Amino acid sequence: MSSINHNQPLYRVVITHYLAAAICFLILAILFVLSIDTFSGHYFQPKLLAVTHTAALGWGTMMIFGALYQLLPVIMETNLFSIRLCWFSFGLFTPGSVMLVHSFWIFETGICMQIAGILILAAIILFSINVFLTVKHAARSSVFQDFMITSCLWLCLTALLGVLLVFNFQFSLLPADHMHFLRLHAHMGIAGWFLLLIIGVSGKLVPMFLLSKYKKTHLLGTSYYLINISLLCFLVDGYYNGINIKTYLIMLLGLAGTGCYLAYICQCFITRLRKHVDLPMVTTLLSFVLFALAILVLPFIIYCHLKGNALAVNLSVGYGVLLFMGWISALILGQTFKTLPFIVWVRHYEHLTGKVKTPMPADLINGWLLKIQFIAFIIFLPAFFSGLIFSVWLLKCIGAASLVITASSYCIHLLCLLFHQTKTETYDHL
C-alpha cells in the first residue's frame, strides 16, 4: 500500500473520496432523524428513496470507489490506469448523487432527476473503465480479479436500469409495473455490485489483517459462480413471473454462495496468527454477522409476500436497514481504521524509518473516538431495527440518535487522521 503515498495525485483522490463519503454518512444519519415516521410505511416513498440512495451512492459506493483506487494497485500488483479518470468520475458522481437524493426527497421527477441519473451512469462507466484497464495489466489473474470485474459490470447494469426507471416516471419506457423493475434494480445493486465487490476485496484483506495461514480460494470460486447464477435466475424469473415459489430455490443458490464466502472468512479467522483482534476488526467481523442475519430475513419476506401478509413491507424495510446500515456500514466503519491509519503513517513516517523514533500506524487511531463510534453503532442496530419491526417510535428515535453519534465520531476521527501532524522522537544513538 505504500506506493499510494509516493504518488501524491493518487493520495489526494483517495482521501477526497473518503471525506465525501464521511460527509454523506453524516447527512444520511440526519436524514434518518428527519424521516423516522416514514420507515413504518411502504419502502416506495420519496423520503425512503432519498435515504436509500444516500446510503447506496453517497456512503457505500463513494467509499468503495475511494478504497478501490487505493487497494486495486495492491491486489492486482500494478499501477492504477488513470488518476484523471478518477477525478472525472468523482466530478460527475458527486453532483449527480446530490441532485438525485434531492429530487427523491421532494419527489420532483423532472429534468433534475433525469440529469442526475445520466451523470451517475456516466461516472460509473468511467470508474468501470478505469478498473477494467487496471486489471488488464495485472501481474497474474485471480478469483479476486473475477469478483471485481464482474461487480463493475453489474454496477453498470444497475445504473442503466436506474436511469430507465428515472425516465419511466414521465415517459413509461418499461413494459411492466415500475415496482417490478425497482425490485430487480435493488437486487442487482445489492448482490451484483456490493456483495461481489465486498467478497473480492475482503477475501484478500481479511486474511492479510488477521495474518491468516489460510490461502485456499476454492470456496471463493464456488461462491462466485453460485451467486452470479442465482442473481441471473432471479432477474430472468423475476422479470417474467415476479416473486413465486421458485424464488425459494433461487434464494437457496445464493445462500449456498454466500455460505461458501462466510466459511472462507471463518477459516481465515480460525487459522489466524494474530490472536488479538482489535476494535476495527471486531467491527469488520460484526459486519459478516449482520450480513448473515439479513440473509436469514429473506425467506420470511418471500413467505409473507406470497401470502399477501402486510408484514412483508416492514420486513423488506428491515432487510434494507440490515444490509446498508448494518452489513455495509459496519464493514466501512471497521476497514476505514485498518487502511487509513496505514496510508497516513506511510505519508508522514515511512521516509523517517530507522532515522527517528516513529509511532506505529495503530498509534494514530484515537481510542476514545473509536469506542464511542462502536458503542453508538451497537446501540443503533437493535434499537432502530426493533422499533421498525414492532412499530415503537421511541426505539426508532434512540436508534436514529445513536446513528448521528456514530457518524459524528466517525467524521471527527477521519479528520483527525487526515490532519495528523508528524511527531518524531530522535533515537539516543542517532
pLDDT at 263: 93
pLDDT at 275: 79
Q: Return the C-alpha cell found at 279.
A: 476494535
**Distance of CA 37 to CAs 41, 46, 117, 320, 391, Å?**
8, 13, 27, 16, 10
Considering only CA atoms, which of 254, 328, 330, 333 is closest in space to residue 295?
254
Cα distance from N-terminal residue to C-terminal residue, the chain: 28
pLDDT at 42: 66
**Distance of CA 166 to CAs 121, 156, 195, 405, Å?**
12, 15, 24, 33
Residue 426 has phi, psi (to 5 degrees) of -65, 135
Helix axis angle for 279-307 and 196-210, nearest 10°, is 150
Residue 212, beta-bridge partner list:
272
pLDDT at 406: 97
Distance CA 117, CA 53 (A): 12
Q: What is the DSSP string of 215-242?
A: ---HHHHHHHHHHHHHHHHHHHHHHHH-
Distance CA 85, CA 108 (A): 31
- 3-state SS class at 353: coil
Distance CA 311, CA 304 (A): 6
Helix, strand, coil distribution of the chain in percent, nearest 5: 80, 0, 15
Q: Return the C-alpha cell found at 258.
A: 454466500
Q: What is the DSSP string of 87-150?
A: HHHHHHHHHHHHHHHHHHHHT--SHHHHHHHHHHHHHHHHHHHHHHHHHHT-SS--HHHHHHHH
Distance CA 226, CA 191 (A): 11
Distance CA 196, CA 204 (A): 13
R_g (Cα) of the chain, nearest Å: 21
**Distance of CA 181 to CAs 88, 236, 291, 373, Å?**
29, 11, 24, 37
**Distance of CA 336 to CAs 99, 281, 344, 346, 400, Å?**
27, 10, 12, 15, 22
Contact 203, 162 (CB under 8 A): no
**Distance of CA 130 to CAs 169, 360, 404, Å?**
32, 33, 34
pLDDT of the chain along its 430 residues, tens only? Answer: 444 445 678 889 999 999 999 999 999 999 999 998 888 766 778 899 999 999 999 999 999 999 999 888 888 878 899 999 999 999 999 999 999 999 999 999 889 999 999 999 999 999 999 999 998 887 777 898 899 999 999 999 999 999 999 999 888 888 777 788 888 999 999 999 999 999 999 898 888 888 888 888 899 999 999 999 999 999 999 888 888 889 899 999 999 999 999 999 999 989 888 778 889 989 998 999 999 999 988 899 888 888 888 778 778 888 888 999 999 999 999 999 988 998 888 888 877 776 777 788 888 899 999 999 999 999 999 999 888 878 889 999 999 999 999 999 999 999 999 988 887 654 443 3
CA angle 106, 398, 277 (to 5 degrees): 110
Q: Return the C-alpha cell found at 7.
A: 504518488
Distance CA 89, CA 67 (A): 14
Helix axis angle for 367-389 and 329-349, nearest 10°, is 170
Q: How many residues does the chain have?
A: 430
The set of residues, in sequence order, having a beta carbon less than 8 Å from that of 174 and lying 6+ positions away, is: 164, 165, 168, 181
Distance CA 297, CA 203 (A): 24
